[in-house]
Amino acid sequence: NFFAFSFFPEHLDMHETDEEQSYGPDDEQEQKEKEEEKEKKEAGQEMEDPSLLKLEDEPLFIMDKVAPDLLEVKPAEFHDYQKRCEKEKSLLFTPSSVRVPVSLKVPENLQPRYLEEEGLYVGERPDVSLTNQNILENRLLHQEEGMKWFGDDGQVIALPNPIREYSTRLPFLSPLEHIDPTAKSKPTRYYTPGMADPHGDTQLDIDISGLMFTHHSLFSREHVLAVRLLQLYDHFLVRKQKNLVSQLRDKLHAIRTAVRNISELHNSSSLPPTIQHRVDEYKAEIRYTRKLLDSELEKDRTLLKSMIRVWKNIKALRDLQKFTNTPLKLLLRREEVDKMKEEQMYESEIQAEASEVLEDYEEEYQKNLADFKAKHAEWKAWKKKQKSRKKTKQEQGEEGKEQEEEHDQEQGINLERPKRPEPVDQNTVVQQIRKRVYGIRKKPGEPLLIPELTSVGTITGTELCPRSEVLRREDMLKRSFFIKIIFNNKVVSQTTSHSLNYDFRVHFGQIFNLKIYNQPESLKFQVFETMRLFPQMLAEVFIPIPETTLTTSSAPFEDYEFSSYQRVLFDHGGVGSDVPFSFEADGSNKVILLTSGKVSCSVTWAVGETSGAMNPQQSTGVQSTLKKHDIISSVRVSALRDMQMLSKWALESRLDPNDPNNTKLLQLLKFATTGEVQISNFFRLEELQEEFKFLKDNEFQKSKRFKLLELRNREVAEFRNYKKIPIMEREIPDKLLQEYEDRLKEIVVIDAKTQLDVRRTLASNYLQKVRETVMTRFLIAKHHHNLWDLVVEEEIPSLTLLGIRFFTLLEPKRPLKPTRKERKKVTAQNLSDGDIKILVNVVRAYDIPIRRPIVSVFIYKIIEIFYCKDLCLIFLKLLLLVFFFYFVKVLVRPFVEVTFQHAVKNTSAAEGPNPNWNEELELPFRAPRGNYSTSSLRSVKDNLFVNVFDELVFDVLEDDRERGTGIHTRTERHWLGSVRIPFTTIYFQSQIDGTFKIDCPPVLLGYVKYYGIGNDGGYDAVRNLSNGSYITIFITVEPQLAIAEAVREKVSFPFHSDEDEKLLQAAEKFHKRAFLKFPTRRCLTTVSDIHGKTVFISRYIRPLDPPAELLETSLNNPQATAELVAYFVSLIPSLPDSVSFAGICDLWCTCDQFLHLLAGDEEEHAVLLCNYFLAMGKNAWLIIGNAIPEGPTVYVLTYEQNKFIIWNPSRGQFYSQYETFCPLQSVGCLVNADNVWFNIQQYDSPMRMNFDISKSKFWKPFFTKSGSHTNLCSIQPEELIYYPTDKAAVAELQDRIEKLLKERITEWRPRHPTRWNRYCSSSLRQFLPMLEMSRGRDVGDEHRLELQNLLGDYRICGFPMHMPFSDIEPIIEAVYSTGVHKNDIFNLEFALAVYICPYPNNVLSVWVYVASLVSKKYLQSHMSESSY
Amino acid sequence: MAAVSPSVFLLLVNGQIESANLPEFDDLYCKYCFVYGHDWSPVSGLEEGISQITSKSRVTQQDLVWNFPIDITFKSTNPFGWPQVVVSVYGPDVFGNDVVRGYGAVHIPITPGRHKRTIPLFVPESTSRLQKFTSWFLGRRPEFTDPKVVAQGEGREVTRVRSQGFLTLSFNIVTKDLKKLGYDMTSEVLSVPEATYRP
């Protein structure tokens, strides 16, 4: 009972207990009853007790007396069977399994409601077999309240099926399971790649038995007819098998008997309406069947007729062409029949038909008659009415007349007197039927003709045939056919090629087993015909995928028809395809036949050896059902986002839109299709897109860190290679970005006080901008890589190189005269701080100024007396020398100090004006920001200073007695001059070896030049050695740094050009040739202008007038004018391009740009100077060559007084061609406004060269034909505009510089008081303009003497410095580098004077005179000059 | 110190260049270096190293074993430019010239723990057959201008390379403060299924 309780709903349970109570007590009750009985029994016993007690008195067991009271003997009760059945019937109920009509299940007077039809969701009902359902329903109905179990739709109320059709849990895969160690590779015969099917093999067997053509282009006429006959015969056979005629006859017969039976049953009296209706139906059926039968009979006859006709045609054709092509033979078997019987049947049939037809007519007649009668009656009534109306009309009078008449007319038309239908004549009907039947049916007694088609005929041998037929047959032999099988649009296999049989059949008989891993979608055959070599597709045949039940064991062959629209025409017996031809002699009745045929094949599912049918029932079949329900398995997870796939799937699987499980999906699809905004509560992957943005855009904008990162990524100049961008926002200093933004806004911080500075800052800003644009272009270009940027590959060695290689093998290992070998270059990226050193080998110096001894003042007085007399000048000089050597032991003690990047190295002090040190100094090199890449190294702006000092040693030992035991000296250093070499020069040259002129100040107080007296200038060669001091040094970088290609402008430089393409190509060619012949010589034909465009170099040359005031100063002396102009040009500050444009390329400014920027490289200076010289009427050229220490540079060559003069434009110095210390080392080419000449002489040193450009032996011109260059107009302006410099501003600047320098010198001497000697300063200041006038030459002695007079008590040590003005900072640097301040004599005084000489266009010449003064008294009292 | 939120994170890498599988060559040594972004800097350890020359075992002609240790600590503020180790293998050719036998690069694993990486090695190809022959003959095979080229994508389109073999590296990674700075590198999600799938 407990179990029952749990299984059934409560109310049901209650019912059941009720039932059980009514039909039989259940266990509990039984027990109760038993207990009651027991109690009763016990009670009975108690009641019986007295009697028992009574009996106790009597003897106890007297059986015979007691027995009748206690025992009752009854015969066994027996109910007879019928009674028992009745009783059981009243108790038992056997529900029937008969279907319960719906009306019983719904409340009375109500139609069943189908919720599903009303659009409500009804879940799928659990599957219960129909009989069980019926039994349940019957049982429920039997109960009293059984109706409540049924829903509105008359079905038992049920919950939806809780069982899913597929397992939701994935199969458990142990990690070891997927590798079966014993697994053998299974042969897969035809594998179509795709998703592997885990359920097992599915195999499709394709049995292609053959191909049969119903028409082929090679058919002969006979074949065409034969095929036609065959088709007819096939048709006939099919019809015969169906045997429709006899079927219809039987049917007709059956219906007729049925009608007859009915009429007999009811005695043809009045039939009840239902039966009458049925009879009518029968009759209609009879009519229809009769018609069918007639048509079938007719078809049979026509078929037979046409067969005979075709056969006759064939026979005729065979006779005509005198050979047979087909073995067909039509036989007509005659079957004799019983004529009497047939006649009787025929007659009876006609009679039956006739009677039926008559009946029909009769019926129709009756119907028509009844109709007529009714109409007639109506007509009569109308007639009467008409008459009566006429009467009333007359009474009514005229008014209503019109209306009435109209009415009359209407009625009068309708109602005419109906005709009486004619009765049908029986005879005519019979006649009609006979006539019809005669046409279609076989006449009684006529023999039955049964056609039989056999192929027993013989085909005429080829040798007996006419030529066209022979050709046709030969052609046939050439043809072969095969079929390609294409499964799911993939070619799977193909049959072997077979040739055509004589009857146009191809037999293949091949079976293909396709292992399928994909859902089969399509299967098709392609029929190919091979004629000669190339197969040609005839047609495609689509084969349906077989039903899953269709297995190989039960497969019939089926024919699939195909046809082709190919047009084929033959000149032999073949009829061709898609070609009209005729059988008639006159060519009428043309037919057009297309190649067509049938493929006979069977496509079935294979039967496996063990697992039965290998159809997709287990695999694909299940999958397809799965697909309908499980979205994951059908569209895969990845496709879940694809709306189209989803909607497609939803369509395919016919999702129940009412299912609550599907609502979300459908909602989604709906939104997706309608494009509405979706408010979803489900997970979509796209939604994360927003999440991935971890910052909002505006926050991103605000963040300093992201901005910094972005700017670095864009390679903005300030942030390029910026290291360690802090991770925290707060760690980024505000000013970092602020500066950048300020620059963007062009808020240039102008700290300048005067208008002069404003101009300069603006110019420098402009330069900065130009630099940046060029830089960005360069950076873009840098990202275009070539193979040689990435891969180091040796060039293919030429024969000469190979030869050299072989010679090197034979070379002695230790040659007597070793040559400098190229060191191995180090790639920059492996370097770090401290790896690179600069080696400076200081060899010797010439003509160092010597000290002027204090004691010899009086001698100078004497010299002064004789000074004016030139004759004794040389004698005096000699005298002086002798004097020096004999009376003064020490002339000078020079040493060299090399400064680079704040590292200082000294040589030891040598003696005399021509010292010889031969010392090697090693200075560390540190790249900016530790970046040793080539681009970074190129932009190093540091300079190497080689300073020459004189070392003065003072003995400061106070007590002479200690002289034996101790040394107490004080040294003092006096700056004599310096050489400045930029690091970039060292880097690009990799070694600098030579003798350089020391930049000596024009006046060195306390020093005198060795030969410095007799210098009167001029272009003569005499003065060559006397002009200055020289130092021989060798500088190199250790290890040697690899230099990346500095300029790539020719090959791949992306800068565009306005030049003519031809010119550029010619330049390229010229350059290449020059390079081939003289690889070391510089050849420059095209250069980049300030915008980075390539410009032909000649365009820069154009005569331009120098400032007028320069020309006016010395009108009589052209040489002085030339020197002044050169001086003016050299006053424009120099700024090497390779520094500003970090090794990209040289940019050539035009002269106006150059003057505007007031900064430029050697080439700008040279171009300007050259242009000035041209304007002054000189012959001037640009020299492209190499110089020391600049490296590749540009000089100016002039031709005057039959001499070639070389000008150094950035220093304003000139040299004759044969001068020894000319810095120009080699000459590559010459340029002027018309042409470019390349040096093809043996030597390129100016001394050994011939500068006569007209000699083609020495110079190769670019434009060989004269006049070809005329179209090259200059890019220079027509004239330069000069404006005078503001004098007041200059004066102000002068004061400012002086003040600043004084402050600085005080700052540099923090431990000592700095005193300024005003008297000295003012006298120096007076002297400076004189120096400017003479441009620093030959005023030394006068001035010195003057000073000596003025300040007789002081030992003066000082020098004027001269430099072009670019900024204040470099001036301070220069003063600092001389080390004037490094003097700690107690009583030291300083003198300082600054003078600025203005030139037009703000070109300023700055003079700074620094001197230190020591009172002689002090000196004498404190120390004595040591005399080493 | 712990209370202060860190401003850099540290990446400690130690491991070794274990072996290489270069079937055709013998007596090779290798060189390693690191390539990292602007925001990275090595704190301690060797940034570059050259291993010993190793020869193949006589018994089993298989791998070249170096077991060359790498130990370096990086400091960074930005995971962009995560360090990569670039390995280049060199050895003598038929004529005894030292030529390159392979370049390879791999990112340092980003998750803490032990990792093993096998990287393919390749060398640049000569531009022509003739070049190939001369480079073979003269023992000057094409090389990258900078081995670090293999760790970057820019400009690689102009090169053609041939693969040579494989090199195995093992790394032990320790990171510090990455999570504090908001970079979660631990793969907790991935470790869960392993635990559940244990039978």
Is the pLDDT at A987 greater than 90? The verdict is no
d(CA B17, CA B105): 12
**Nearest-Cα residue of chain B relative to residue A1042:** B145
Count other C-beta atoms under 10 Å from residue A946's C-beta: 24
What is the reported pLDDT for A1022? 40
Residue type, A560: Y
Chain A residues with CB-CB distance to B5 below 8 A: 728
- Does residue A1269 have a pLDDT over 80? no
Q: Give pLDDT tens digits for A1116-1145.
A: 777 888 888 888 888 887 765 544 554 445
A790 and B143 within 8 Å at the Cβ level: the answer is no
SS (H, E, C) A221-234: HHHHHHHHHHHHHH
Q: At how many degrees (to 10) do helices A857-866 and A1340-1350 cross?
A: 130
Top mean pLDDT of A44-53, A805-814, B89-98 is at: B89-98
Give me the half-sphere count of Cα atoms (radius 13 Å) on the Cβ side of residue A895. 17
Looking at residue A961, what is its pLDDT? 72
Long-range contacts at A1057-1060 (CB < 8 A, ≥ 24 apart): A1057/A1086, A1057/A1093, A1057/A1094, A1057/A1095, A1058/A1093, A1058/A1095, A1059/A1086, A1059/A1094, A1059/A1095, A1059/A1096
Give the C-alpha distances (Å, rounded to integers) separating A1397 from A753, A758, A1190, A1366.
19, 19, 27, 14
d(C-alpha A469, C-alpha A461), whole Å: 11
Residues of A in contact with B134 (CB under 8 A): 794, 796-797
User: What is the mean predicted confidence (pLDDT) over A1216-1240?
Assistant: 83
Average pLDDT, chain A: 72
Quickly count: other Cβ atoms within 10 Å of residue A11's Cβ: 11
Which residues make beta-bridge pairs with B121?
B165
For the record, the structure tokens of A544 come out as 């349906």
Q: Omega before A915 cis (within 30°)? A: no
- Find out whether A332 and A450 touch, Cβ atoms under 8 Å: yes
**ipTM for the whole complex:** 0.76
Would you say residue A1058 has pLDDT above 50?
yes
**Which residue on chain B is closest to A713 by alpha carbon?**
B38
CA distance linking residue A696 with residue A708, whole number of Å: 17
State yes or no: pLDDT of B67 exceeds 80: yes
Residue A873: what pLDDT? 62
Give me the pLDDT at residue A680, please.
47
- Cα–Cα distance, B107 to B83 (Å, whole number): 6
Residues in chain A: 1428
Q: Tokens 């791999």 appear where?
A: B106
* pLDDT per residue as tens digits for the range A598-633: 888 888 777 765 555 555 544 343 344 444 444 444
What is the spatial distance between Cα A640 and Cα B63, in angstroms, rounded to a whole number?
Answer: 47
Q: How far is CA B108 from CA B70, B77, B115, B183, B187, in A?
A: 12, 16, 9, 16, 16
Q: State which residue of chain B sits closest to A176, comparing Cα positions.
A: B199
Question: Which residue of B38, B41, B124 is in closest CB contact with A722?
Answer: B38
Alpha helices (H) along A867-980: 873-887, 934-938
Q: Say yes or no for a CB contact (<8 Å) between A827 and B145.
A: yes
Q: Has residue A794 got a pLDDT over 80?
A: no
* Cα torsion A172, A178, A180, A181: sign: negative
Cβ atoms of residues A902 and A894 within 8 Å: no
- Residue of chain B minimizing CA distance to A793: B142
pLDDT for A665 equals 67
Q: Cβ contact (<8 Å) for B159 and A709?
A: no
The angle at the Cα of A331, spanning A328 to A334, to the nearest 5 degrees, equals 170
Judged by a CB distance cut-off of 8 A, whether residue A790 touches chain B is yes
Q: What token pair was written down for A1411?
A: 């001197």
Q: Which residues, other chains included, contact A1313 with Cβ-Cβ below 8 Å and sequence gap of 6+?
A: none
Answer whether A793 sits within 8 Å of B181, measured CB to CB. Answer: no
Answer whether A731 touches B (CB < 8 Å).
yes
What integer is the mean pLDDT of A643-671?
Answer: 64
Quickly state the pLDDT bin for A1015 (edges 50, 70, 90): very low
Mutate to test the interface with B, among A727, A779, A932, A1043 (most CBs of B within 10 A): A727
Put simply, the answer to whether B78 touches A722 (Cβ < 8 Å) is no
Amino acid occupying residue A667: Q
Question: CB atoms < 10 A from the CB of A913, how many?
Answer: 20
Q: Assign B191 a pLDDT band (cuts: 50, 70, 90).
A: very low
pLDDT for position A44: 47
**CA distance linking residue A1254 with residue A1233, whole number of Å:** 15
* Bridge partners (DSSP) listed for residue A1392: A1410
Contact across the interface for B158 and A731, Cβ inside 8 Å: no
Report the C-alpha gap between A86 and A481 in whole angstroms: 83
What is the H or E stretch that residue A284 is in? helix A273-321
Strand partners, A833: none
Residues of B in contact with A728 (CB under 8 A): 5, 7
**Cα–Cα distance, A752 to A759 (Å, whole number):** 9
d(CA A524, CA B102) in angstroms, rounded, equals: 53
Q: The tokens of A1370 are what?
A: 């470099």
B62 CB neighbour count, 10 Å cutoff: 11
Six-digit token pair at A1032?
A: 């021989």
Cβ neighbours for A778, distance < 8 A, ≥ 6 positions apart:
A1141, A1144
> Residue A169: its pLDDT value, please?
60
- Other beta carbons less than 10 A from residue A911's beta carbon: 15
Cβ contacts of A786 on chain B, cutoff 8 Å: 158
Q: For residue B38, give how far its alpha carbon lies from the nearest alpha carbon of chain A (Å).
A: 5
E-assigned strand segments in A564-719: 579-581, 591-593, 596-605
SS3 category, B14: strand
> What is the percentage of chain A residues whose pLDDT exceeds 90?
0
Chain B CB within 8 Å of residue A785 CB: yes
pLDDT tens per residue, range A828-866? 555 666 778 888 899 888 878 877 665 455 555 555 555
Collect all residues of chain B within an 8 Å Cβ-Cβ radius of residue A715.
Answer: none
Can you tell me which residue has the tokens 């994951």? Answer: A632
Quick check: pTM over 0.80? no
Whether residue A725 and residue B181 make contact (CB cut-off 8 A), yes or no, is no
Q: E-strand spans in A885-968?
A: 894-900, 903-906, 916-924, 943-955
Give B159 to chain A, closest Cα distance, Å.
6
User: Which of A724, A791, A830 lies nearest to residue B143, judging by beta carbons?
Assistant: A791
Interface test with A, best of B5, B31, B38 (most A CBs within 10 A): B38
Q: Which residue type does A206 have? A: I
**How far apart are the C-alpha atoms of A1000 and A977, rounded to whole Å?**
4
How distant is the Cα of A172 from the closest Cα of chain B, in angstroms?
A: 10
Residue of B7, B135, B149 lying closest to A790 (CB–CB):
B149
pLDDT of B107 strictly over 90: yes
C-alpha distance from B7 to closest chain A C-alpha (Å):
6
At A651, list the tokens: 């369509």
Higher pLDDT, B4 or A1156: A1156
* Residue A633 confidence (pLDDT): 45
Comparing CA positions, the residue from A982, A1091, A1094 lying closest to residue A1047 is: A1094
Q: What angle do CA A905, A911, A912 make, to 5 degrees?
A: 125
Contacts of A790 in chain B (CB under 8 A): 124, 144-145, 149, 155-156, 158-159
Structure confidence by residue, pLDDT tens digits, A7-53: 444 444 444 444 444 444 445 555 555 555 555 554 444 444 444 44
pLDDT reported for residue A405: 47
Please give the Cα distance from A618 to A614 (Å, whole number). 8
Average pLDDT score over residue span B171-176: 92
CB of A791 less than 8 A from some CB of B: yes
Please report the DSSP string for A1320-1339 in residue order: HHHHHHHHHHHHHHHTT-S-
User: Which residues on A lie below 8 Å from B131 (Cβ)?
Assistant: 793-794, 796
Rounded mean pLDDT, A722-737: 77
Peptide bond between residue A797 and the one before it cis (omega within 30 degrees of 0): no
From A1299, A1415, A1302, select the one nearest A1357 (Cα to Cα): A1415
Measured distance CA(A828)–CA(A936) in Å, rounded? 10
Q: A783 CB near a chain B CB, below 8 Å? A: yes
What pLDDT does residue A34 have?
Answer: 52
Determine the distance in angstroms separating the CA of B117 from the nearest CA of chain A, rounded to an integer: 24
Angle between helices A755-782 and A1287-1308 (to 10 degrees): 80
Q: Is A782 within 8 Å of chain B by CB?
A: no
Q: How far apart are CA B78 and CA A710, in angstroms?
A: 13
Compute CA A755 distance to the chain's CA centroid, rounded to the nearest angstrom: 56
Q: Environment class of residue A1088 by beta-carbon count within 10 Å: exposed (0-12), middle (13-18) or buried (19+)?
A: buried
**C-alpha triplet A1391, A1392, A1397: angle, nearest 5°:** 145
Pairing status of strand A1315-1316 against strand A1389-1399 = parallel
CA dihedral (A633, A634, A639, A642) in degrees, to 10, reads: -140
Residue B114 β-bridge partners: B172
Interface of B with A (CB under 8 A): 5, 7-9, 38-39, 41, 48, 77-78, 80, 124, 126-127, 130-131, 134-135, 138, 140, 142-146, 148-149, 154-159, 181, 197, 199
Quick one: average pLDDT of A802-821?
A: 72
**Residue with the two structure tokens 């700075």:** B181
User: Average pLDDT, stretch A1072-1094?
Assistant: 79
Residue-by-residue DSSP string for A119-154 = T---PPPP---HHHHHHHHHHHHHSTTGGGGB-TTS
| Cα nearest neighbour of A727 on chain B | B77
* A836, A1041 contact by CB (below 8 A): yes
Mean pLDDT across A534-559:
76
Least confident of A153-162, A444-453, A860-869: A860-869
